[in-house]
Structure 1
């Protein structure tokens, strides 16, 4: 048994009220992560963490420090400062405990340069809202490994290796007579920083055989598709009041430099299944995290006898009890097949309890 947690302290400032700047917003957030990793203690050997709130260092961080300016009547807004990638690009909720179903999916498979919450980066994002609930947005994010260090700082000004350039287009309709909200996204990214080839050495020979330094690739890239749609029940102002919501997330990274090259997950949320508890939410999801076969090819000698990793499969079911406006208790069970992508590893069952307090 292991527990871990996160404390978040934040403030949102309306700059029109404070300084007369119409459409301006400032956001500052500090996080503190603490606790212990069940995966390490129990030797689970999983590709995706079973405690989504653990990771990226048990330390204090400046997670958000940005200014956003909306230009009235134009549909354009600009955000800049210290941002996390998943705030705007491939954004997804984090209700589940298994990381397969939590947060911005690209960060789950190329987390060495796509940094999700609570790690922030110097960045800017431009978004344009069009008619018919369409939008497009693009960003520029610094790629700097120093951001992963466990020191509290407003931001590093040296050590960048390149820039990450995400692009996303989407549709956010309210469908049917009940105006049920949905989100449909297609996006991609390009990282200008070099990356090591997962198979070839500098002479374009199998690197695990030769032992020579890996071939350096210029740039890394990938893409994603995300769909979420409420299909039954009621909604108000794009917020689910009751009913069933379905989702599907798919991410593919380049196979030249990514050891984990794709992830897919699908699931549902159901709000108010029990009439006596209208605010409670049930969540269920299944997912697959794939190890790049190019990184695990057959090689001469004893390595041929070793099992090569393939894909890890995960499922999770939770029930969220809204005990009070400030407290949600969420027991859950996870089932993981082929931990680490290895067929010989025994399946894993994890029982968890997630508590969310908002003061």
Structure 2
């Protein structure tokens, strides 16, 4: 009977995702913004990434029903303590938008456990210096989806169903202007400008400390989780996907996967997952799911500690790693273990690939509530190391700060500053030295500063300035300066 209910509700959830304007993206949880208690029928706050999908005029009982959402326990541990932009982060849940309650349809669905919304995020960039020539480009992502509370819908307590479609469009300045950067200056671009089924997964809480998730998802949703408030990809999302994106496929790519999360004790957790590695998932055409073409599996694992709550400074500390059974080509040696650039033969194949990461976020000053930083200064640092046999970019290090509340009269103001280094594998640099006239690559350095404001509850504007030193890791390359504008509209 439960299985029949599960299949029926899954079909309803997918239908809602495909036919209703919606997005309830569970790529990550941002605890940097205040959220009303689940039973409080309050109007949306200016920086609430978990605001109920109803507008203020709704009846109190309807608002309460819409506000009651099941939040998987593991999401409380995937804390991102950066002050949350409410809609500028293209991988987090959006608040109610421009068209409010959609003639009471959002309230009606919310009462039945279906959380829906829709959003368009845009990133514009212009390079006054650097690159082959000056250009200006705009790229964006439209998201539509539904998140279903199975307890409300069919009485299956602790269950959540998520379905999300994404459509990416536009042009990338790194390509158009010939910036030759290792990391994109518009993070929302990439992985094919196409419509995708990014998420179609089910998660079930088992007891008080265990959650199991399975379906179409991606490892960056649950492992090495980090926000995408910055526009430069160096500072966006799960770092492993920035370095070894051929097999660790972040948002918006979906692949078959499962994740088991266990709370060891309050604030401490361990988790592991298994995800399909399938190059066909990167094809630029629409599909719901692929049933063939897999080359192996990705097995990530992570342990973490989170702390803070009402009145305390929130923090998140994570350490993890991964191993994939998918083969990888050597960056330097051929099948005879001689330099590829000299012989021109096929590369040596390795039967496994691996890496590890550390992520730290800590609120330093200000107040917090319900595990979210409300204002003040926060710092973060991320580091990822991949294997040197197969990864051209083998490590990335990032540090930065967020400060929320510089101008209390500006709604949702957040200042972000970050510095990062993306390293080119020394073995790949050795190959460069063997080809006369080829620049020897080293490391690319990037910095970004942005200031985000929310003039309207459904609109966010975030101007930014980026600086890229040694683009492509080439020391002789001219420095690149990018003027950007990141914005988003919730519908």
When normalised by structure 1's length, the TM-score is 0.97
Q: Which residue of 1 aligns with 2:155?
A: 20
In the alignment, is residue 174 of structure 1 matched against residue 308 of structure 2?
yes
* 1:278 Cα offset (Å): 5.5
In the alignment, is residue 205 of structure 1 matched against residue 338 of structure 2?
yes
Q: Which residue of 1 aligns with 2:380?
A: 247
Q: Deviations over 1:54-107 (max 9, x none)?
A: 10111100011000001232x000000001221101010000000000001000
Cα distance in 1, alignment partners of residues 381 and 432 from structure 2: 36
In the alignment, is residue 265 of structure 1 matched against residue 390 of structure 2?
no
Give yes or no for contact 2:432–2:438 (8 Å, CA) kept in 1: no
In the alignment, is residue 313 of structure 1 matched against residue 450 of structure 2?
no
Q: Which residue of 1 aligns with 2:203?
A: 68
Q: Which residue of 2 aligns with 1:92?
A: 226
Cα distance in 1, alignment partners of residues 329 and 171 from structure 2: 31
* 1:305 Cα offset (Å): 5.1
Q: Which residue of 1 aligns with 2:33?
A: none
Which of 159, 166, 179 is the matching residue for 1:44? 179
Larger mean CA deviation between 269-278 and 50-59 belongs to 269-278
Q: Which residue of 2 aligns with 1:78?
A: 212
Cα distance in 2, alignment partners of residues 118 and 227 from structure 1: 24
Cα distance in 1, alignment partners of residues 286 and 228 from structure 2: 24
CA RMSD of aligned residues (A): 1.3
Cα distance in 1, alignment partners of residues 176 and 411 from structure 2: 38
Name the structure with the higher helix share: 2
In the alignment, is residue 2 of structure 1 matched against residue 134 of structure 2?
no
Q: Which residue of 2 aligns with 1:165?
A: 299
Query: How many correspondences in the alignment?
Result: 356
Cα distance in 2, alignment partners of residues 123 and 251 from structure 1: 22
- Partner SS for 1:97: coil
Where do residues 74-153 of structure 1 align in structure 2 (5 Å cutoff)? Answer: 75-153=209-287
Q: Which residue of 1 aligns with 2:80?
A: none
Give yes or no for contact 1:271–1:278 (8 Å, CA) kept in 2: no
Give yes or no for contact 2:148–2:160 (8 Å, CA) kept in 1: yes
Cα distance in 2, alignment partners of residues 265 and 165 from structure 1: 24
Cα distance in 1, alignment partners of residues 237 and 149 from structure 2: 26
In the alignment, is residue 348 of structure 1 matched against residue 480 of structure 2?
yes
Give yes or no for contact 1:90–1:104 (8 Å, CA) kept in 2: yes
* 1:178 Cα offset (Å): 2.6
Q: Which residue of 2 aligns with 1:234?
A: 367
* 1:304 Cα offset (Å): 5.0
Cα distance in 2, alignment partners of residues 31 and 78 from structure 1: 24
Larger mean CA deviation between 212-221 and 157-166 belongs to 212-221
When normalised by structure 2's length, the TM-score is 0.71
Q: Deviations over 1:30-70 (max 9, x none)?
A: 00000111111111000000000010111100011000001
* 1:307 Cα offset (Å): 2.7
Cα distance in 1, alignment partners of residues 177 and 320 from structure 2: 36
Give yes or no for contact 1:233–1:242 (8 Å, CA) kept in 2: yes
* 1:130 Cα offset (Å): 2.0
Sort the Cα spacing of 1:42 and 1:299 in 2 relative to 1 into closer, same or farther, 3 A. Answer: closer
Q: Which residue of 1 aligns with 2:190?
A: 55
Q: Deviations over 1:181-235 (max 9, x none)?
A: 1110000000101111111111111121111211111100000000001111011
Cα distance in 1, alignment partners of residues 323 and 431 from structure 2: 30
- Partner SS for 2:375: strand
Q: Which residue of 2 aligns with 1:291?
A: 424
- Partner SS for 1:209: helix
* 1:326 Cα offset (Å): 1.2
Cα distance in 2, alignment partners of residues 186 and 102 from structure 1: 18
Give yes or no for contact 2:411–2:454 (8 Å, CA) kept in 1: no
Q: Which residue of 2 aligns with 1:281?
A: 414
Give yes or no for contact 2:182–2:472 (8 Å, CA) kept in 1: yes
Cα distance in 2, alignment partners of residues 179 and 147 from structure 1: 43
- Partner SS for 2:176: helix
Give yes or no for contact 1:266–1:287 (8 Å, CA) kept in 2: yes
